[in-house]
Structure 1
Amino acid sequence: MKMNCLIVDDEPLAVSVLETHLANMPALRLAASCSNAFEAMEALKAHQIDLMFLDIRMPKLMGQEFLRTLRNPPKVIFTTAYKEYALDAFELDAVDYLLKPVTLERLVRAVNKMTAVGIPEVKPEAVVENEGFVYFRADRKMVKVAYNDIVYVESMKDYVKIVRTGEKPLLVKQSITALEDLLPDQLFVRVHRSYIVAINKIAAFTNHDVEISNMEIPIGRLYAHQLEKIARSSNL
């Protein structure tokens, strides 16, 4: 039996991250995503919600304040960029308190804490299809990017450049580490502190670099262990 979930967060990128992760967890069903507490109130009336992913700092009503207004709240996992509200959250019987950016592994661990109350253990899908996608904030809008269109990602100080097939590169204000957590590791691999590459776009590789899109991208010393993953996944 699937758990119905509700996301309450005013940051589109954070919502996109959670939606992407939940799509890989077959035991969970996303019922709705809301940008504030008042939208969430309506969603709770319209759906039987088992688990709510709740941001802390939101317009109109803070996440913990909203939770206190609910007579029979669902189980709650807080997702926030701020550490200082953790004690307050656990006093409200939160299942867990996750700091953004939320990784798939950390999310699965949080959801599995609910096994103590009789909910079946949740596991991520073994395979993530190339047809998946993610949204990025760029040029003052949210841009939808299919996993299969991403060739590689390059870190550029406070930004990352996402190189795509058939499209101009997308410049996004985000760290490469946060983006690494967002992209499914079945499809992408970080080979250098400044580069993430799509495994299925790799044409060739050596112990020192990968050849992709007519360029050679170096393999950093700290990422040499990824060669085995590349060989296994690429069938090269």
Structure 2
Amino acid sequence: MKNITCMIVEDEPNAMKLLEDYTGKIPFLHLSGKCYDAMAAVSFLQNNTVDVIFLDINMPSLTGIEMAAMIPKDQKIIFTTAYSEYALDSFEYHVVDYLLKPITFKRFMQAVNKLQSFMQAEPEESETSAMPGFLFVKSGKQVHRIEYASVFYLEALKEYIAIHTPKEKILVYKRMKDVAEVLPPQFVRIHNSYIVNLQHIRNIGSNMVQINEQRLPVSNSYRGLFQQRISERMW
């Protein structure tokens, strides 16, 4: 298992100690640095790199959101905060997850596992460039050729998946998990029941996306990955 380097940025000593203890319980998680204020963290990152930052939002002088704007956009971040209303503010950054205080070890481990999944799922450039722009799917007795660009979203319907396109809805006997593993990077899962094509998103809210006139929910389980993909295309 690949080691993951991290740093903790937290102004509360008790919260810092808790995150240090949690980090020490995970063999593949290596603590490379800790800072009690954001400016010290920015300085640390000028000469050091880490895979992820456990970053408190509410800090004096410089908040976690403000610090995130000062560091490279591809830096992965797990926010630690007592508030949940910062979700929209962080779409610009590679936010993997939010840990709402008080943080349990179980919830901390879930965030680390999600980080692992994101890092393993990041496609190599050569793989992305070689991927064709279409797929063939079998629906009933017919085989359909579907251009990826024409797919609005995929919807889980019990043992079937509905592929929504401008012209039709195609039912395929597949599991959502299997389909998610072979789709190109412009597709991202936002919910147990939905995978969306980023190219067709019109609006993003705190808990939903809009594709054409359809509003689809974004669940907490997939919010981090969705925000990461959005941040890669954010101006």
Normalising by structure 2, report the TM-score: 0.48
Considering Cα pairs closer than 8 Å and 6+ residues apart, tell me whether 1 or 2 has the greater RCO: 2
